[in-house]
Structure formats: C-alpha cells, structure tokens
A and B are shown apart, each in its own frame.
Chain A
C-alpha cells in the first residue's frame, strides 16, 4: 500500500485510534517449513488451538463489516494451511483484500495459477539476501533457491507485480542494489523492512542489526527511491533528514494490530508478548470488541510521554522509534529507540543487563516437514 503523507494534525488523530485498523496483520498459522533465525512469531510447529476454517470465516465477516480494506497475512507459512486459498477467496469476495507473505516453497504451478486468477490479492515472497550465501544462513539451507522458484512460478503464471520482501540486516545492506536488480528482473516491487528483536529475532538481533553507518547508507538509498515499499518500518531513520514516505508513527494499537493463529490480538506484529496482548477474537464481541474496548489499546491511544527524548529536537521526526525494538531490548518505552540515529539508544543499551530483557516464548520453534 502507498498512502498520502499525513499532516502532523492528522497523525495526532491517528494516534487516538480509528474505528478499525488501517493495517491488520493476521498470522494464520505458526506452522512453517522454515525456521528463520529472526522469525517474529517464533514459528515452526502448528498450534492445535489454531482458528478453524469456520472461525476464520467469521473473523473475515467481521472485518468486512468493519470495512477493513485488506489484511496482511503472514505466519508461519500461510500456505501450510490447506484451507488458505479458500479463505483468500472468501475474503476477497467480501472486499477484504489479502496481501500474504510466503517463503515460496508451496507455490506449485497449480497454486500459482490459482493465485494469478484472484483479484485483490498481493503476494510477497521473502528472501533476506541477493544470494544464497547471504540468505541461507538466516532463512535456512536451500531457502533462497526455494524462494526464487516460487517467484519463477508466479511470473510464469502471469501473476503480475508480486513483491520481494527483505528484512534488512548487517549482511544484506551491501546488497540493496542487487536486490533491486532482482526485483526489476521480475517486474516485481521491492519491499524492505526493519529487523526487530522480536520472537526468535531477540537472539540474533545483536549480531544482525545494521550498524549506524549502514543506517545512514540505508536512509540515503531509500530517500531517492520512494517506489521501494517499507511498511513504514524505518520511521526512526526520518531523524536523518527529510521524512521517509509513510505515516511516520508507531501505529501499535492505534492504526495497526495483529491477530495470531489462535485468535489472540496483539498491539502490533512485532510484540507477540503477554504485555501487549489485548484480547482474543473468540471472546464475546469478537475482534471488534477487542479493537474498540481493550484497556491496552485505550492506553496506547492516550498521549504518550516522550520521556528521555522530550528534550531532543528530532523527536517530532522519529517519534521515539519502535516500541517493540525498545521493549525486547529491555529499554524503557519512553526512551530512545535502540537504533536511535543520534546514538542515544546505543548508549542506553549498554546499561541494560542481559537479565533485563523480556523472556520471549519460543513455543512453536520446531519446523514442519512438507
């Protein structure tokens, strides 16, 4: 999605919450044939409590009623669910568009043909490097070839401009131009997002997150490429100069939320932790009740304190950065982002004892064989 630039006034309205999310992420399964080192949802095994097909359809009905324009589907690997493409049909028939992320393994020629025949469906295939040498250490042996095969099949089926989605790390920032070239080759759109210390990412973030010099390099690269999608994930970099395109705010619980495979609703896709659990879609009143009435979301929609960042002249630009990045590195939520471009986060980070970082549940971390 691309969006208008929001004025500061409108941004303040967004922070007070909306009637329905602008961007709802729905992880439909924890099942995955891969076990990426940085997986936000620590996926691998399916959870026996997963929403049934009927429960998924009820949720889609509710989203359609609330006029949620589209959902971002992830997992796990969505295609692990045998009912997934039926659910996609069900959603798009109700004008709930679907954008889903996949590792490409299960995009058979048949699946590609079906995907290509569906309107209002966007697909993004993940790679985390322009070569297997960069990608496979993060996503698993053979995962680069698997993703490229999935891309080839979508292209052969005439799907149109799919997206290539990359989580930016210390190792693939030097490959930005090469990644762009791969996207160009397919007529695809490049989408790059920020590495978060969430889920299994907590254990690799220290070694994989970009250096300060690389953040500058990334900002300079992005500012000349408004066509590259970012999911609004690099707004902390806007403090380096002109704001990057996008809403430039932390949307957690305000314009964004996450529904996990068992129906739990979290403030954003990067905070699968009890502290940010707002409710469950199986509860009375369903998703709508959680979105409109949860105490957690009400708190997030209150004016937030800039805390230690209040005296910084750049706060208006970076908004204090990403809540999840602060939370999972054990930093105060009203302080600097660990990747603050002025280095304030880095200085705070060294003061955090290892034991102060929150414990991350990795209960699904066993990969499936497909």
Chain B
C-alpha cells in the first residue's frame, strides 16, 4: 500500500469496530469476521489486535495509539494496517 493511504487516514477521528464484526484473539494477533459481508480478515500482530479492540473506548485513533505506547517508528505501519482494516469494514469512523 502506498503512503498516500496513511495520509488520507485521519487519526484524529474516533473509530470503533464495525458493529457486525467479531474479533477472536489468537497468538499471532487476531481473526476478524464480518457477519455482513462474511469476510475473514487477519490481524497480524497482538499489538494491532489490542489497538483495534480498544478503538471504541478512545476519543481518537491517536489517543488509542498513545494508550498502547505506539512509537513514532511503529506509527506508519499501524496506520497503514488500520487504513486497510477500514477498507475491509473491520473498523469505521463512529
């Protein structure tokens, strides 16, 4: 994915898990299943899974990243992953 996806992903907005989504933690991260589009998505790290699961509790994505101790170096990869998860309807702006 190009860096433009990171640019368009606005981490100041509040996000949450899609209401039709179920998340199951696994040792590699988590499995996410969307009951609406029946799509299975893989969350490829436990850190990403924890962030995704907690998005709804934070006023913004930025706040969630801070709460999970995401460093500046980790941030672009996490934002790319979140942007990808938004396009597969795992998460959405609330």
A103 to chain B, nearest CB (A): 23
* Closest residue of B by beta carbon distance from A122: B38
A69 pairs with B41, CB closer than 8 A: no
Tell yes or no: A120 within 8 A of B by CB.
yes
Q: Which residues of A contact B40 (CB under 8 A)?
A: 1-4, 22, 69
B39 pairs with A13, CB closer than 8 A: no
Q: Which residues of B contact A69 (CB under 8 A)?
A: 22, 24, 31, 33, 35, 40
Q: Which residues of B contact A19 (CB under 8 A)?
A: 24-27
A1 pairs with B39, CB closer than 8 A: yes
Per the bound structure, the CA–CA distance linking A4 and B26 in Å amounts to 16
Counting contact residues on chain A (CB < 8 A from B), the size range is: 20 to 34
Do A120 and B35 form a contact, CB below 8 Å, given A2-B40, A4-B40?
Answer: yes
B26 pairs with A18, CB closer than 8 A: yes
B38 pairs with A20, CB closer than 8 A: no
Within 8 A of B (CB), among A228-257: none
Q: Which residues of A contact B9 (CB under 8 A)?
A: none
B39 to chain A, nearest CB (A): 5
Residues of chain B at interface, number, CB under 8 A: 16
Per the bound structure, the CA–CA distance linking A22 and B31 in Å amounts to 9
B42 pairs with A67, CB closer than 8 A: no
Per the bound structure, the CA–CA distance linking A70 and B34 in Å amounts to 11
A347 to chain B, nearest CB (A): 37
B33 pairs with A6, CB closer than 8 A: no
* Closest residue of B by beta carbon distance from A68: B24
Task: Annotate A140-166 by CB proximity to B: 1 below 8 A, 0 otherwise.
Answer: 000000000000000000000000000
Per the bound structure, the CA–CA distance linking A200 and B41 in Å amounts to 35
Per the bound structure, the CA–CA distance linking A229 and B88 in Å amounts to 18
A15 to chain B, nearest CB (A): 11
Q: Which residues of A contact B41 (CB under 8 A)?
A: 3-4
Per the bound structure, the CA–CA distance linking A41 and B7 in Å amounts to 53
